[in-house]
Amino acid sequence: MSQTATIEASEPPRTVTLMNGSTFSFKSNISTTIEKIPVIDAARIWSESLEDRRAVAEQIREASRNIGFFYLVNHGVDESYAEATFEQAKRFFALPEKEKMRVFTGLVPNEYVGFHPMECYNRNGWKHQDLSEAFNWNYDPREDPEAVEGAEPTASLWPADLPGFRETLYAYHSQLLRLARRLARIFALALHLPEDAFDDYVQRPEAGMRILHYPEQKHSVDDQNGIGAHTDVECFTIVTQDSSGGLEVLGKNGNWIKAEPISGSFVVNIADCFMRQTNDFFVSTVHRVINKSGKERYSAPFFFGFDRRKLLEPIPTCVSDDNPMKYPIMTGGEYYEWRTNKQKKTNHHEGVTDMPGRAT
């Protein structure tokens, strides 16, 4: 059971510049359970009653505005999909490094797909590299029961000799895609828009996913993170985490808040594209992972955004003459490419294999 810490900053606040160009400061590397992340019961998002759906939307509106994070329970996705995905994650990350490097992300320009090796990045410039490894894959209309005709898949890399790996990961991806499309309608209500306001934007969505492996950290939190402090790129993220804990969210007061695991829940967070479109009404909150659990940690974030071809235009209810748009308008694809390449340039891994995996 975690201990609740009293935050007392004995040093000046530490300031970090993020990949999106913004800076933030925090008082201490000690995390706390004094503050809590809201828990929202999602059962009514599937209700036939608009009143029910609006009631959940108002809770999501407050959480998205105040902290940018919330737990989602009773969401309707069977836990067996998560369990199977974590088994595949353990299987993949147990492979020899040479095998995993066959699908190294450096083989695919402009995309974040494939294998990201252990200690590949150092997001915040700490003494030691971030202690985690990941595998990413993209949306594929062939795996989407609601795919529109003519939708083209985005490039992904898949290991050639791991039967069942791709199939299991896409089985879970499809479940989360269905949930994310429903949440897009709830978010429209949360922004006091018609419920179908985003329907056209999510027919061919940005919907990437990743599995992550975090060994236990031996170094101090002052010298290393599992994943350094960052914000996500798309509209919102649905995170499946195991029982190890380690996800931490930066509160508005500059303290790190533990997002302790709740069985059967998802952690949902606002990402940068939604923050930009809502003109900062929704908060894309800084978060990180510190694995001091005494065991290995696995997680599976699902990143959901709008069609890359669509402009990230301001949400009408979030701009006015007195509150003009703060951000230049660009397509989701342009923003994704900029962030992806900026992140990849921080790669410290030199090895690039000449034996690529199967790209699709």
Give the pLDDT confidence of 132-152 residue by residue, as tens digits: 999 999 999 999 999 998 888
β-pair partners for 14? 26
pLDDT (average), residues 124-129: 83
Nearest-angstrom CA–CA distance, 340 and 137: 13
Nearest-angstrom CA–CA distance, 30 and 24: 16
Give the pLDDT confidence of 75-93 residue by residue, as tens digits: 999 999 999 999 999 999 9
User: How high is the mean pLDDT of the chain?
Assistant: 89
The torsion angles phi and psi of 80, rounded to 5 degrees, stand at -60, -30
β-pair partners for 98? none
Domains of the chain by start residue, with CATH? 19-350 (2.60.120.330)
Contact 22, 48 (CB under 8 A): no
End-to-end CA distance of the chain: 44
Kindly state the DSSP code that residue 204 receives in the 8-state scheme.
S
Give the pLDDT confidence of 9-30 residue by residue, as tens digits: 445 667 776 666 677 777 778 8
pLDDT computed for residue 345 by the predictor: 66
State pTM to two decimals.
0.90
Nearest-angstrom CA–CA distance, 161 and 286: 37
Give the pLDDT confidence of 97-120 residue by residue, as tens digits: 999 999 999 998 888 899 999 988
Class of residue 228 by CB neighbours under 10 A (exposed 0-12, middle 13-18, buried 19+): buried
Nearest-angstrom CA–CA distance, 77 and 240: 11
Q: Report residue 3's pLDDT band, with 50, 70 and 90 as the boundaries.
A: very low
Give the pLDDT confidence of 167-213 residue by residue, as tens digits: 999 999 999 999 999 999 999 999 999 999 999 999 999 999 999 99
Q: Which residue has the higher pLDDT, 343 or 142?
A: 142
